[in-house]
Structure 1
C-alpha cells in the first residue's frame, strides 16, 4: 500500500518547523508519487546504465510516495502511527542536514554533539544522547 500524503503532511510540517527555526536552509517541499524508477546504478563519479539501449525504466510494484526537499528526497513508508512517522522523518532529515551543514544538527544546548530523535513521555522529542539536557518536542526547536 502506498503512503498517504494526508497522513504525512502534518508530520512533514512539524519536522520542517525545526529546520526553519534553526537553519537558513530552504524548507520548501512537495510530495511525488513515483511509479517508475530509472534503470541506473549511480556512485560518486560513476554512472552505470543497464541495458544496451541506454537508460530505461522499470515499474515499481506499488507507487512510492517521496518527500522532495530542495536538495534531497526521501521515500516515505506506509505508516499509521504519528509518533513513529515523526521519529522516522526526524531521523532522515537529521542525517541529511548533518551532511548538508557539515556539522551537528540540531545542536545540543551546551554540547558540540547533535540531539537525537527519541520517544519521550509526551511524544517524539529531540534528546541529548548524553542524557544531560531537557527533551525538546519535535517541531518545537528554537
Structure 2
C-alpha cells in the first residue's frame, strides 16, 4: 500500500469524525522506523501489515473506537454505537460473575479439603474509576470492572478486591483466580500449594474435555478435577 492510500484514508476518516462527532483534530500520516503512523490529535495508530489497521479501509473503524475511549479530551459527540458498546461490556461482565463464583467454590473446596484452611472468594462488578485526564465536553460513562476479593478465615474478613479479566471458560476463571490469589495462598500456608504427591513440584492447572484439572508438570499425570482434590493427591512443603 502506497503512502497516498493511507493519506486518502486519513482524510476520509477525519471528514467522518468531523461530521459524526464534531471533532476538528488534524489527521495526518507520519513515518516511523516500523512503518506509517496515523495521528489524530493525541492519538497515534501504527498502520499497515502486522498492526490493528492492516488496510486503509479499516482505519476509520479503529480510529473511531480509539476516539470514543482513548482521546484525552473526550469522544466529542456521544453516539448510539458508543452506548451500545457500554451496554454490551456491562452485560458480558455481569454474565461472568457466576463463572467466577463457581471457580472460587471449587478452589475453596480443594484448599479446605487438603489444608483445612477456609477461603472465601467474593466476586463483584463495579464501575471503573479511571480518571478523565482532561475535562471532556461529553464525559464517558464508567465501564465495568470485575473484582475478586480473597479472604481467609471463617468470617472472610481482611480481604481486598483485585481486578480480573473476563473469562471465557471455567478453566480460564480458575486460572485467573489462582493468579491473583497465589501470593496470599503462599503467605497463609507458608509454602506453595498444591504440591504433587509423587514429585516435589507444584501441580498445574490443565483442562481435560472442558473440565479444569490438576496435573503434574513432571509426568503430566492428571490427579484430580479442580474441586475434588484430596489429601492423598498432594504433599506439603
Bucket of the pairwise TM-score, normalised by the shorter protein: 0.5 to 0.7
Partner of 1:45: none
Partner of 2:144: 63
User: Which SS does the other structure have where 1:100 is aligned?
Assistant: helix
More strand per residue: 1
Q: 1:134 & 1:90 partners in 2: Cα distance?
A: 18
Q: In structure 2, list runs of 5 or more residues that go unmatched.
A: 1-88, 132-139, 152-158, 231-237
Highest relative contact order (Cα 8 Å, sep 6+), 1 or 2? 1
More helix per residue: 2
Q: 1:33 & 1:132 partners in 2: Cα distance?
A: 36
Structure showing greater Rg: 2
Q: 2:108 & 2:145 partners in 1: Cα distance?
A: 21
Aligned partner (choices 86, 109, 113) of residue 21 of structure 1: 113
* C-alpha contact 2:129 2:142 (8 A) present in aligned 1: no
Aligned-pair CA distance for 1:78: 1.9
Aligned-pair CA distance for 1:73: 3.8
* C-alpha contact 2:199 2:218 (8 A) present in aligned 1: no
User: Which SS does the other structure have where 1:31 is aligned?
Assistant: strand
Kindly report structure 1 stretches of 4+ aligned residues shifted beyond 3 Å. 36-39, 71-74, 90-96
When the two structures are superposed, what TM-score results if normalisation uses the length of structure 1?
0.67
- The one-character-per-residue Cα deviations of 1:102-137 (angstroms, maximum 9, x if unpaired) are 322002103222111112346211111101644311
- 1:125 paired with 2:228, answer no
Aligned-pair CA distance for 1:89: 2.5
Aligned partner (choices 73, 77, 81) of residue 169 of structure 2: 81
